[in-house]
Amino acid sequence: MVKRIKELEKTSRLLEPSAHERKEVRKKVITYSETFLNDIEKIKAYNVTIGKGIDILESPIGEKPIDIDKAIKLIEKNVDFPGLNPASGGHLGYIPGGGIYYSALGDYLADIFNRYAGVFYASPGAVRMENMMIRWLAGIVGFPKTAGGNLTSGGSLANLMGIVTARDAKTISSKNICQSVIYLTKQVHHSVSKAIRIAGLNECIVRFVPMDERFRMNTKELEKMLSLDKQSKLNPFLVIASAGTTDTGAVDPLEEIGTLAKNYNLWYHIDAAYGGFFILTDEGKIKLKGIELADSLVIDPHKGLFLPYGLGVVLVRDVKHLQKSHYYQAQYLQDALAGADELSPADLSPELTKHFRGLRLWLPLKLMGVKPFRACLEEKLLLTKYFHSEIGKLGFEVGPEPELTVSTYRWIPTLRQTPGDINKINEFNKKLLEAVVADGRIFISSTMIDGKFTLRFACLAFRTHLKQVDLLLKILKEKVAVLEKMK
């Protein structure tokens, strides 16, 4: 047995490369990443490819290793080239974008030291750091000292945790679920609907509150619904507002909804995954007034703080509610109970094992301070206003004045036979989208609003500046001219 153990040890030690081996591999990885960063403005925002990375499957996992050069070539060809490049300043299609460099170093350190940030006993410093960041976030949105939260993988998990907490705080169970009512709009993010289903609340009555012409919740209609449901002996318990919808960037009237939630004893959940960090700006403070009234709130640093994908946050006004919904004590963790100065993230989340996410947030904020983050957010607000104005001058039909950094628009083509034909207008704008994406220098996206194929300008990549916005305007003008001639 000892002989076999020693044989296995010899092979297993291959998992621990020598200092020289680490240096050689690291050097090549750094060279590859630095080339990417140094050339970022030359690299397309989207690459249309035939194989879509399929060649990665031709190199299956096996017993024999390959060298780092071959591995990098596989990654470059099949992962980093095809499709969307979210690190590009030309990424103007979806909300998240970029991935600031110091966060990558935070992840590197977190992975090397592999601190377990789930339980205070295991890594008190890591837990203190994460809870420190939670307190900072709670402070900027105006939550009281009773607040707490959790660093999650993203807004979807954060929304689920907020809705589960609301369910338990309002004692929704099989006895009353069919009489219990949830209020939201059709502009709410799809992760909210998913969370309602996963939380076992599909049997609740879901009321879609009408919206105004800017796609914001109509609070007069909400109050009518609440009053009628109370009169009908139903159980209104949850209202969900959006602080920046994905489709249009709309911000619901947060303060008015908060007042109604208090008057009708509702749990008030705000999805501010996209828009929450604009509260760091003067304009955002005005537009997000009332966000402090939420009982639970979702906010994504991998959106508004430009971090790499993989960091959302759920905040709860009274952390005891979050803890009640997610706490569980296993016998083998009994040693961890002693001397806990801080709440453990594992007691506030479905996750027991979790990545040390706090370091990717803490390090860039400490190394750069809040000022450049605020400036970047203000810049994006102004760029969106600029685009909205300029795209209208080019003859595009524009949507509502943008509240944050999403602007909607579409081209109404000259149709000789059937002017105003919605299908042909939709088809033209779909072709326009495809032409811009195929060009690749700028990436845009679309949505359907009231049956209309609508183009979206979503400006939140930290590398997006005036140069990229002007380039998009130029490309749109050129592609429209070509498509109009082809009709």
State pLDDT tens for residues 201-226: 999 999 999 999 999 999 999 999 99
- Backbone φ and ψ for 151, nearest 5 degrees, come out as -85, 115
Between CA 409 and CA 107 the distance in angstroms is 38
Average pLDDT over residues 334-352: 83
Residue with tokens 């001219």: 481
Instruction: Report the CATH architecture of 107-368.
Output: 3-Layer(aba) Sandwich (3.40)
> Is pLDDT at 454 greater than 70 in this prediction?
yes
Beta bridge mates, 242: 271
Check pLDDT > 80 for residue 335: no
Sheet arrangement for strand 445-449 = 397-398, 406-410, 452-458, 445-449
Stretch (H or E) spanning 388: helix 371-393
What pTM did the predictor assign?
A: 0.94
Query: What is residue 339's predicted lDDT score, i.e. its pLDDT?
Result: 63
Domain residue ranges in the chain? 107-368, 371-486
| Rounded-to-integer distance, Cα 32 and Cα 73, Å | 10
User: Residue 232: pLDDT above 90?
Assistant: yes
420 pLDDT more than 70: no
Under 8 Å between Cβ of 270 and 249: no
Q: What is the third-level CATH fold of 371-486?
A: Aspartate Aminotransferase, domain 1 (3.90.1150)
SS3 310: coil
Q: How many CA atoms lie within 13 A of 12 on its CB side?
A: 6
Task: Collapse the DSSP code of 456 into the 3-class scheme (helix H, G, I; strand E, B; otherwise coil) and give the result.
Answer: strand
Lowest mean pLDDT among 92-96, 391-395, 440-444: 92-96
Phi first, then psi: what are they for 271, rounded to 5°?
A: -90, 100
CB proximity list for 396: less than 8 A, separation 6 or greater: 409, 410, 411, 476
Contacts of 114 (CB under 8 A, 6+ apart): 356
Residue 22 gets the label, from left (phi > 0), alpha (psi -120 to 50) or beta, of alpha
